[in-house]
Structure 1
Amino acid sequence: MARKRNQKKGNKKTFGARDDTRAKRSWSELIKENEKWETYYKTLNIIPEEEWARFKETCQSPLPLTFRVTGSRKHAHEVLKLFQEKHLPNLTNVEFEGQILKPPMELPWYPNHLAWQLDVPKTVIRKNEQFAKTQRYLVVENAVGNISRQEAVSMIPPIVLEVEPHHTVLDMCAAPGSKTAQLIEALHKDTDEPTGFVVANDADAKRSHMLVHQLKRLNSANLMVVNHDAQFFPRIKLHTDAEKKKEMLKFDRILCDVPCSGDGTMRKNVNVWKDWNTQGGLGLHTVQLNILNRGLNLLKSGGRLVYSTCSMNPIENEAVVAEALRKWGSKIKLVNCDDKLVGLVRSKGISNWPVLDRNMAVKNKGDEGTIESWFPPTEEEREIFHLDSCIRVYPHQQNTGGFFITVFEKIEDEVEQAKRLANELEESSPTPSAKKLKTENGAAAEVQQEPVKKERLPRDANEEPFVFVDPNHESLKVCWDFYGIDSKFDKTTCLVRNATGEPTRTVYTVCPTLRDIIQANDDRLKIIYSGVKLFVAQRSDIECSWRIQSESLPIMKHHMKSPRIVNANLDMLKELLIESFPTFEDVEAKHLDDEFVKKMHDLSSGCAFVEIERGEDKESLFLPVWKGAKCVNLMVSKEDTHELLYRIYGIETTAKDNSKIQKKQVATGTAESTETVDSKETSTDA
């Protein structure tokens, strides 16, 4: 969600559990009642009277656990199949304290059966053996980016945005990043090297860095994280070329998941119950409208924009949409999604609503202190706007949070668009508006939003620059030759993040389009993160002092033709996953893969790669290893090791280390494959 809130960090004992212990206690201590909230929504009459009791009761209960499998990964079907075959049967007809628990349920509207819901309390997940095993499975798969914990309704906006691999995409209010992750997955659908990219923005610097942590798991060179107020998001130059410098980036797809009062999240954010009042929506309305209008300005003709909130309040939803339709007229239209998301229970958008102030008094258009755009459209406008094309999802309809989604399409003529942009000041800003902030006691306060400043703020002392490295730099030339990297890989996309511009410890790579944007917009974009690690410095006493980082292998494996890529069988991989630095002598004695041992032994010391073919219906593996003078070691993280052991060999692990005797038992087959062991903590990618 885009709603801003304070959180404290702590240990997560359950997959997806909240890390605010006070919030956990509040579920039992706080009375989940709010008279103004109940009066307001009964006055709106958006929930049928016969459904009200169930609606309120659902809002008062905790959310179920929901997750989705990363659809862009080639092994997504394996991860899903493992859950369906190894876990789902054991979670069906489970009895806990005398009650039969609900089995996991597939979200019917999510594509390709990849999203699931576990409607059981977290206490059950911790205490029941079968659910605890599933919990461990989810934790490991989440750590390596194969699945994501995400609220069900939060999955809807990226789906209806319909991102394709060639699209330029902007997520205007991206933190904490679950929807952004979906956008990146869609971009990488069917390709490791899409031509499009995602720009993920958040106004809060701390949340921007949290966004990076969430998205790094996906290892995409087609992502850039920036830190700007979405109301004033800057225009982005496409080129450094002086003749083309006036060409500005227009996005094919834009997600405006705007800050909101958040009463759709009251099932997990208990403070909404005590803090909610009508002023929250009234105060945020103009900010939301400014963000939407800025998004529509940045949208390409023929492009699609999704406006969404985690609020059920029409002042933040249909009122914002209606005002955008007034402003833009025939240049935009709403997209009806009735034929999308088959299986999703939803309600249509509304065209009439009362406006109530903080004292719950009804206000009329023209009253002192009101804004015209708060009020519902006229009869004539209703016929034109088609606000029933908006999507409303209420908590009781399928045991979710509350959400609002609207899909816009821009149909402005390109010539007309160019003319308008020529007259638009580059640093134009929306009318200063009231922006809602949190005071120390948690109450809502309003401050006047200052106009955007024209001069660029000086770079923060802790803010590292993005400096591109000459592909003919001696350090890079050694890497191109050593790893046999072909000419199809764009070698001008390598960058470092230090003021000297010299490759010292780490070299990153970005997609070619982002390279141009980073170079052309140093004076206007506050870039927090972009690129994946390509080369990392290692020992200097060997032939190549750089190793290829595992997070860039999805790209680089398509561009390497080198004897340093050695085929191995599954027995050999299992040995490498379980044993730390096995010697060639020991491996050779086991006769697991004599050809692998011979080829690997003949290589010079340094980074190399192991490729494992697993059959036509399964993804082949491409993993980095360290080849020493007398031994070889698989260079993947502990989390990746655990995931591979379980997915490929059915070996369960724990977070704690166990003795090497157990590891050797599993390796030699003297222990059951389902016995709990813990793999070595292999060399990690720093």
Structure 2
Amino acid sequence: MGGGRKRGRSQRRHFKQERENVWKDNPRRPPASAGEGGEGNGWQPFATENLAFEAYYKGQQIVPEEEWDAFMSMLRKPLPAAFRINASSQFCQDICSQLENDFRKSLETEVNDDHEKEAIRPLAWYPGNLAWHLNFSRMQLRRNQALESFHEFLKQENEVGNITRQEAVSMVPPLFLNVQPDHHILDMCAAPGSKTFQLLEMIHQSTKPGVLPTAMVVANDVDVQRCNLLIHQTKRMCTANLIVTNHEAQNFPGCSLAKFCPEAYIDESKPQRLEFDRILCDVPCSGDGTVRKAPDMWRTWNIGMGNGLHRLQVEIAMRGIALLKVGGRMVYSTCSMNPVENEAVVGEILRRCGDSVELLDVSNELPELIRRPGLSTWKVRDRASWLGSHKDVLHYRKNAILPSMFPSGKATTDSCTAGGSVEVNIDAVDADMSESGGMVEGKQETKIATDDSNNGDNGKTEEIEQDESESVKVSRGSNEKTDSTSIVTEHSNLPLHRCMRIIPHDQNSGAFFIAVLQKLSPLNESPVVEVMKGEHSTSKDKALKCSNGQGSDKVPAEEISVQQPGVDDSHVLVEQQNRDMDAEISKDRSSEEAKVIAGEVQNDQATRRDKRKTQNQGRWRGVDPVIFFKDEATIRSIVSFYGIKDSFTLEGHLVTRNPDTNHVKRIYYVSKSVTEVLDLNVKVGERLKITSLGLKIFERQSSKEGSPCTFRLSSEGLPLLLPYITKQILYASAIDFQHLLQYRIIKFPDFVDAKFGEQASALLQGCCVVILREGHEDLESIGMDPSAIAVVCWKGKTNLCVMVTPMDGRELLDRISFRFGLKIPKVDDGKPDLKSDDGSDEQPDGGAETVDPDCMPESKAAEDMDISDVKDAE
């Protein structure tokens, strides 16, 4: 994945010394023997104060002075939990009814906050009452015995994808995208994936069973590990309309066919360039809006976090605008309250883009949502000094404190350097570490590292002693101003009041910033843009990304390189991206392959194109290639065995990640829109690094007993395929369906309905589908009913074995119990365990029939993985 790239200074340091443990040798650390809450053992919660934080936001006048106490009081309270119901789930109405009629009444006595009158309530501003606010924090949900059943309900429904546990304000940005069923959508910084899941809900909500929307979502993240979390999160959606990519958002590839193929090979009927109708630009930020959820933020917050991320945020946002279609809409958002990360970034976008981009007034959308207008004036704080304009910045700091951070965005003459490129030796991120005051006892040693890009760990370090009674100022020049009231601040003439800022004490939530932008015309170079290019063309400016858990959708703390984005989205930026990516990839190729990609092999055009296609398979190191599955014999076998109707097209929609078609284990189904993107990606040289895509629909089975078809159905793909299957189908009564989920393996004579057992015995050996017939009169059309409940099973010689995970099995049992009022007795303890230690499933009676381990619970790793706390990190 990284090839031979050098590690950054901070990354090398982490290999040499362990990361800081906030609990280690901490007087507030709960002893190992501490009980719940640590009461009586000297344990104390994190201190919820930071003098620098309070001074900064009071100086910025985020809220009126008369609201300051209420604002700070709310920030010190734990954040209430929230979740969203999956609108496209077949059990959506069941879950809504269960919340309204069961849990809402049973929990009404658990109200423990004067601010709230109800234990749980739907969020008034979220459409359809699909989002719910709880009067409990995540910690209370875990520890309160009265909430145990409700907490188990939340965990189970979240794991199977019926709900998503997510911070309430994190649900807001996708709602302002105004997503339509035919839109191509890009989520630029997608992990951990709650907003991506929300976007997928929107495009699937109006579709019928077996019908795919024409819309598509590309979810991108810079960190490969967070991409894995993103994949796990979105996998619950079971969608064929998603592509997950792994790129730096500010360098997201431009896929323009005209740049790579001669005009003779361009098919005008197919997409020529990858553009998006909607873009969600939820950028990495300091994350101080999540302080209620992540109280450690009180200890770690410092002014340099926002200042150091500003440049990266502008680069990502500008890249988003470049990828946006004319007429398209982009939402820029952060979970930070800092105007340097919010209004300053939006202002810089408007200045760079001129009349090509408009900041929309969306005050009439979601009227129940309480929001406040964006600021038109603010100050910048640098090393204990308040700055009203860029002319107040000390000369040696002018490349760290940028003109774009101020309301006017204008620079003084002496701040422009020759060539527009200066290596910054002192990171803005580290500049104000000394201002994280209010959290130390006695004296604290603060290190301010001045990194030399050529020397790595050999950068200079200054040590400053900080006394508890006074704040530290890092003084390297005169004229530093600390009194914010004496600063003459600028006022922006841009319509920044159209932005929105969500304040915690308005509706008992976290904090968020949102701006909605619309692209009116292609970006063109202008004199204003030329000036800004000189100000922002530093090729390798290092920015600190916030650490895990501090904010929603953030990347881990590490140093990254920020490339200057081009201005013309159709020429300058694409060319720059192509050069950068080709240079990186060529390091991992043989010289012959590099010559082919560079076009230096002077063969005829057809031969050159064929070679490029062949050699680009597996272009990205460590990432499996995307291969269209074209084994006609296997496809015919699948269609014949399951009786798949001709109306469900498989040709051109099946892909694998294994170039050896003889050893393909999984086959994925992709929508038409995804197919078009894949085709374009191949033609432009596989510029997209695709880590995951499509819906797993078939899996190879290796049963020793054999089967006419070598591939079985996947539980994930069953909802899509069910309306088109005409063979290998059984219709079970509620009691037999219930027993099948409980005991997982049942012999044919042991079914309550003897006729059902006979029908099961008569099926061909191999994979089959069992549908719950309860509540349905017409069995012929039951597959088209969105309320139909079905599971994938394996028909052996003597028995029927269900192939769903235990978690999915429990969920289906609960849904059946709720929908039909059935009582679910516990499984007889006398029966043997259905899951053996080696991962294979044995028959309850210990019979000799061999069951394919691959046919049993689909992912033991997913079954054992408990990442519920990570999932609601948003």
TM-score, normalising length: structure 1: 0.84
Match of residue 288, structure 2, among 234, 245, 263: 263
Residues 182 and 215, structure 2, Cα contact 8 Å, conserved in 1 = yes
Output the CA distance in 2 between the equivalents of 1:571 and 1:470.
42
Task: Tell me which moved more, 506-515 or 645-654.
Answer: 645-654
* Cα pair distance change 1:626/1:661, threshold 3 Å: closer
Residues 306 and 407, structure 1, Cα contact 8 Å, conserved in 2 = yes
Which residue does 2:676 correspond to in 1?
Answer: 516
Output the CA distance in 2 between the equivalents of 1:444 and 1:77.
41
Partner secondary structure for residue 390 of structure 2: coil
Match of residue 62, structure 2, among 31, 43, 46: 46
Match of residue 581, structure 2, among 445, 454, 469: 454
Instruction: Please state how far the C-alpha of 1:182 moved relative to its aligned partner.
Output: 0.3
Output the CA distance in 1 between the equivalents of 2:333 and 2:154.
28
Output the CA distance in 2 between the equivalents of 1:503 and 1:340.
52
Residues 357 and 363, structure 1, Cα contact 8 Å, conserved in 2 = no
Which residue does 1:571 correspond to in 2?
Answer: 735
Partner secondary structure for residue 234 of structure 1: coil
Output the CA distance in 1 between the equivalents of 2:557 and 2:386.
19
* Cα pair distance change 1:506/1:572, threshold 3 Å: same
Please report the RMSD computed on the Cα atoms of aligned residues, expressed in angstroms. Answer: 3.7
Task: Tell me which moved more, 354-363 or 137-146.
Answer: 354-363
Which residue does 2:518 correspond to in 1?
Answer: 409
1:274 aligns with 2:299: yes
Partner secondary structure for residue 328 of structure 2: strand
Q: Which amino acid aligns with 2:743?
A: E
Residues 288 and 335, structure 2, Cα contact 8 Å, conserved in 1 = yes
Instruction: Please state how far the C-alpha of 1:27 moved relative to its aligned partner.
Output: 10
Output the CA distance in 2 between the equivalents of 1:222 and 1:100.
40
Instruction: Please state how far the C-alpha of 1:580 moved relative to its aligned partner.
Output: 2.7
Residues 286 and 433, structure 1, Cα contact 8 Å, conserved in 2 = no
Match of residue 612, structure 1, among 744, 756, 772: 772
* Cα pair distance change 1:398/1:579, threshold 3 Å: same
Partner secondary structure for residue 284 of structure 2: coil
Q: Which amino acid aligns with 1:476?
A: I
Count of equivalent residues: 631
Instruction: Please state how far the C-alpha of 1:682 moved relative to its aligned partner.
Output: 9.8
Task: Tell me which moved more, 339-348 or 308-317.
Answer: 339-348
Output the CA distance in 2 between the equivalents of 1:444 and 1:622.
44
Which residue does 1:104 correspond to in 2?
Answer: 120
Which residue does 2:856 correspond to in 1?
Answer: 683
Instruction: Please state how far the C-alpha of 1:521 moved relative to its aligned partner.
Output: 2.1
Partner secondary structure for residue 385 of structure 1: coil
Match of residue 206, structure 1, among 225, 233, 237: 225
Partner secondary structure for residue 249 of structure 1: coil
Which residue does 2:544 correspond to in 1?
Answer: 437
* Cα pair distance change 1:614/1:169, threshold 3 Å: farther
Output the CA distance in 2 between the equivalents of 1:526 and 1:596.
48
Residues 301 and 412, structure 1, Cα contact 8 Å, conserved in 2 = yes
Residues 66 and 149, structure 1, Cα contact 8 Å, conserved in 2 = yes
Which residue does 1:603 correspond to in 2?
Answer: 763
- 1:35-74 matches, cutoff 5 A: 35-74=51-90
Q: Which amino acid aligns with 1:535?
A: F
Which residue does 1:243 correspond to in 2?
Answer: 266
Instruction: Please state how far the C-alpha of 1:121 moved relative to its aligned partner.
Output: 4.4
Which residue does 1:668 correspond to in 2?
Answer: none
Task: Tell me which moved more, 595-604 or 225-234.
Answer: 595-604
* Cα pair distance change 1:259/1:124, threshold 3 Å: closer
For residues 317-360 of structure 1, the C-alpha deviation after alignment (integer angstroms, 9 at most, x for no partner) is 11111111112122221222222223222111111111221323
Which residue does 2:245 correspond to in 1?
Answer: 226
- 1:523-542 matches, cutoff 5 A: 523-538=686-701, 539=703, 541-542=706-707
Residues 272 and 680, structure 2, Cα contact 8 Å, conserved in 1 = no
Match of residue 722, structure 2, among 549, 552, 557: 557
Match of residue 395, structure 1, among 492, 504, 508: 504
Which residue does 1:139 correspond to in 2?
Answer: 155
Output the CA distance in 1 between the equivalents of 2:663 and 2:801.
26
Instruction: Please state how far the C-alpha of 1:578 moved relative to its aligned partner.
Output: 1.7
- 1:160-179 matches, cutoff 5 A: 160-179=176-195
Which residue does 2:370 correspond to in 1?
Answer: 345
Partner secondary structure for residue 405 of structure 1: strand
1:371 aligns with 2:371: no
* Cα pair distance change 1:374/1:504, threshold 3 Å: closer
Output the CA distance in 2 between the equivalents of 1:205 and 1:508.
21
* Cα pair distance change 1:576/1:268, threshold 3 Å: same
Instruction: Please state how far the C-alpha of 1:618 moved relative to its aligned partner.
Output: 7.5
* Cα pair distance change 1:499/1:446, threshold 3 Å: closer
Match of residue 799, structure 2, among 614, 617, 631: 631
Q: Which amino acid aligns with 2:265?
A: A
For residues 49-79 of structure 1, the C-alpha deviation after alignment (integer angstroms, 9 at most, x for no partner) is 2221121121122211111111121321111
Output the CA distance in 1 between the equivalents of 2:827 and 2:285.
44
Q: Which amino acid aligns with 2:228?
A: H
Q: Which amino acid aligns with 1:483?
A: Y
TM-score, normalising length: structure 2: 0.67
For residues 613-637 of structure 1, the C-alpha deviation after alignment (integer angstroms, 9 at most, x for no partner) is 5548971113212122222122221
Residues 309 and 545, structure 2, Cα contact 8 Å, conserved in 1 = no
Residues 27 and 270, structure 1, Cα contact 8 Å, conserved in 2 = no
Residues 164 and 189, structure 1, Cα contact 8 Å, conserved in 2 = no
Output the CA distance in 1 between the equivalents of 2:315 and 2:285.
13
Match of residue 657, structure 2, among 479, 497, 508: 497
Q: Which amino acid aligns with 1:409?
A: Q
Partner secondary structure for residue 376 of structure 1: coil
Residues 287 and 433, structure 1, Cα contact 8 Å, conserved in 2 = no
Output the CA distance in 2 between the equivalents of 1:72 and 1:111.
14
1:190 aligns with 2:303: no
Output the CA distance in 2 between the equivalents of 1:552 and 1:448.
40
- 1:80-99 matches, cutoff 5 A: 80-94=96-110
Residues 645 and 652, structure 1, Cα contact 8 Å, conserved in 2 = no
Q: Which amino acid aligns with 1:602?
A: A
Q: Which has the higher contact order (CA 8 A, sep 6+)?
A: 2
Which residue does 1:289 correspond to in 2?
Answer: 314
Residues 222 and 511, structure 1, Cα contact 8 Å, conserved in 2 = yes
* Cα pair distance change 1:448/1:536, threshold 3 Å: closer
Residues 654 and 669, structure 2, Cα contact 8 Å, conserved in 1 = yes
1:546 aligns with 2:706: no
Residues 232 and 430, structure 1, Cα contact 8 Å, conserved in 2 = no
Which residue does 2:810 correspond to in 1?
Answer: 642
Output the CA distance in 2 between the equivalents of 1:59 and 1:334.
29
Output the CA distance in 1 between the equivalents of 2:213 and 2:630.
24
Match of residue 627, structure 2, among 460, 467, 474: 467
For residues 112-131 of structure 1, the C-alpha deviation after alignment (integer angstroms, 9 at most, x for no partner) is 11111222245543454441
Residues 613 and 619, structure 1, Cα contact 8 Å, conserved in 2 = no
Instruction: Please state how far the C-alpha of 1:260 moved relative to its aligned partner.
Output: 0.7
Partner secondary structure for residue 351 of structure 1: coil
Which ranges of structure 2 fall in alignment gaps of 5 or more residues? 1-10, 20-31, 411-489, 526-535, 551-555, 565-576, 589-618, 777-784, 834-853, 860-874
Instruction: Please state how far the C-alpha of 1:558 moved relative to its aligned partner.
Output: 3.0
For residues 458-498 of structure 1, the C-alpha deviation after alignment (integer angstroms, 9 at most, x for no partner) is 456542221111151x2222001111222333322212212
Output the CA distance in 1 between the equivalents of 2:503 and 2:276.
31
Task: Tell me which moved more, 527-536 or 113-122.
Answer: 113-122
Residues 376 and 492, structure 2, Cα contact 8 Å, conserved in 1 = no
Residues 408 and 492, structure 2, Cα contact 8 Å, conserved in 1 = no
Output the CA distance in 2 between the equivalents of 1:64 and 1:36.
26
Which residue does 1:78 correspond to in 2?
Answer: 94
Instruction: Please state how far the C-alpha of 1:448 moved relative to its aligned partner.
Output: 5.4
Residues 256 and 307, structure 1, Cα contact 8 Å, conserved in 2 = yes
